[in-house]
Chains A and B, each alone.
Chain A
Amino acid sequence: MSLLQTTDLVKQFGGLTAVDGVSLSIERGTVQAIIGPNGAGKTTFINCVSGLLDPTSGSVQFNGDDITGQDPHEIVQQGISKSFQTASIFPRMSVAENVQIAAFGAEHGSFRFNFLKRRESYDAVQETTERMLRSVDLWDDRNIQAQNLPYGDKRRLEIAIALASEPELLFMDEPTAGMSPEETRQTVDLIENLQEELGLTIVLVEHDMEVIFRVSDKIAVLHRGSIIANAAPEEIRGDEQVQEAYLGGAEI
């Protein structure tokens, strides 16, 4: 059974069909890339799965359960987390607190928080916070106010927040956009680590083809809301329809 399965997922905005019957199944422990030109519907697809948008029709199955139309927090609690395309952080909280809150979110449900108990005394939360901040190399910046981080660091903080939710499936919407080549390299390393060490399943939307071909197990090509190909990187490289629709014949 696949970890995530969408069936005929459709999202319309008024007359515009942004996601047009997407059926995609994602296997546990793989990195699934979604590529496609701007406006192809990649972000909308992610939003329909993660609960930010309600799909117009179709269904989403996660671990065999129907999660279509659930609220974002319910979907996160089931093990799907996402890093936003634009860093969505808590600007006036410290870097550590940004991650801490996600770590508390991950604990949610396993016990009730105590109003009168200091948050420093939740050891599992502190431990997760430190581990995630170290994995994105922001541990030394933990006391800085998040809004004062440089843009690339904000994106990495965004990833750390998504990771601290301890997901099984992680959506990453253009994680390297706005990063320097060095930061991009680190992020790619991070993605590979996450998959290999934690067995995390990752859905990656990305424009950087070098990144895509390096980390992906499978690449889906989205064109005007529909998937026109979904195959291993070598096959995508050779697919003429893809070349035409998206890659514009460019060498890759």
Chain B
Amino acid sequence: MSTEAEEGGTVGGIDISDSVLIAGNAVALFLLPWVLIDVFGMVGEVIDIAVGGYSGLPSLIIIYGIVVIGYNLLLGYTGMLSFGHAAFFGTGAYVAGVVSGTTGSPLVMILAGTVVATLIAWPIGWISIRRTGVYFAVITLTFGQMLYFWALGPGAWLTNGDDGFSSVQTGQLLGTFELGAPVVGGIEFLSVYTWEYLMIATLAIVALWTANRILNSPYGLIFEALGQNQQRVSFVGLDVSRYKLMAFIISAVFAGAGGALFIIHESYIHPNTAYYWIQSGDFVIMTVLGGAGSLVGPVFGAFIFEYVANVISGVSLPVIGSIGSLWRIVLGGVFVVIIWAFPKGIYPGMRDAVIWIVDRVRNRGGEQG
């Protein structure tokens, strides 16, 4: 995993500076809506099946991407399998929503949601990390479910319970820019690049940059070591609980920010999307699908997951008919095939494949020469 820890930091021994990482991701984030909506849309017209994305989908993918970039720091490096990260996602969302009643500033909403999610991660993490493996997973699951039932019942005065929270009053970005408006008006091609998309994409770059920095700092090494031999970590003089708690809290920061962005994007949240254990499980699926233990891998997982959930679910096929709520079966199939073909996840798998092909081509070139 060591090569992946240096992801974005070193490729083939060449040190890639932060600016290259940022620029590369910025290009990718710029291309995402174009590929998803326009390119896939054209393909859809040719094959006469609606496989093109809709305009809100890129934002949704990136929001979940931010969540799983953080979640991966926990699962992919320390190896701790949390089944309760919806607790932080949901809290980020509800807090941002509630705060919007007072100040609609999107940045304040995000900050508030992230801070409160981080604060509740402290005690939840402190208790959960005392156990490992299945017990850790079940304790985190239990915390998530406690919040779920709280949001449905006793917390309904704040969350609006089973009716869902819809009184979101998101204002303008920096008091100036309407989130739904395109950054550059009047050009059809650029209409999907709204202020909201710009804000979410910028935060995604901040998230990637931060995660990359953490992985290249001493903490990254310690997190990775925790995933491989905890006893040894304590026998080099490092407090295992402290670093596990730190990884847990860091991952919750990302989940909280993602939750806040989610409610800004959707203007609505229900306990089922906020806190239900299936939401926690979806984070696990995205991370493993995309590639746990690689910096950007989980974002690919979020892409595939949300694409199946939102586009494939709307596809109607001959014989089978409309896929609709069967999309989870399709997703299961996709998951099995990808993990069977690429046990480390789609991104590490593709990268290994590219390296393999490049090696083959080089070697052949060598033989001819």
Contacts and interface: CB of A to CB of B under 8 A. Distances in A.
Interface string A78-114: 0001101000111111100100111011101000011
A81 B235 contact: yes
A105 B237 contact: yes
A71 interface: yes
A91 to B, nearest CB: 6
Given A72-B235, A73-B237, A119 B228 contact: no
What's the interface size class on B, roughly?
20 to 34
Contact of B2 (A72, A89, A92, A118): A92
A73 B234 contact: yes
| Chief secondary structure at chain A's binding surface | mixed
Given A71-B234, A82-B235, A93 B240 contact: no
Contacts of B1: 92-93
B177 interface: no
A104 B228 contact: no
Most buried by B among A81, A82, A93: A93
Interface in A45-88: 50, 52, 71-73, 76-77, 81-82, 84, 88
B232 A73 contact: no
Interface residues of A, number: 38
A102 B236 contact: yes
Contacts of B26: none
B290 interface: no
A119 B237 contact: no
A115 B246 CA distance: 11
A105 B238 contact: yes
Interface in B1-53: 1-2, 9
Top 8 closest A-B pairs, CB basis?
A76-B237, A105-B236, A105-B237, A102-B236, A113-B218, A72-B234, A116-B213, A90-B228
Contacts of A108: 237-238
Contacts of A81: 235-237
A145 interface: yes
Given A115-B219, A119-B216, A89 B240 contact: no
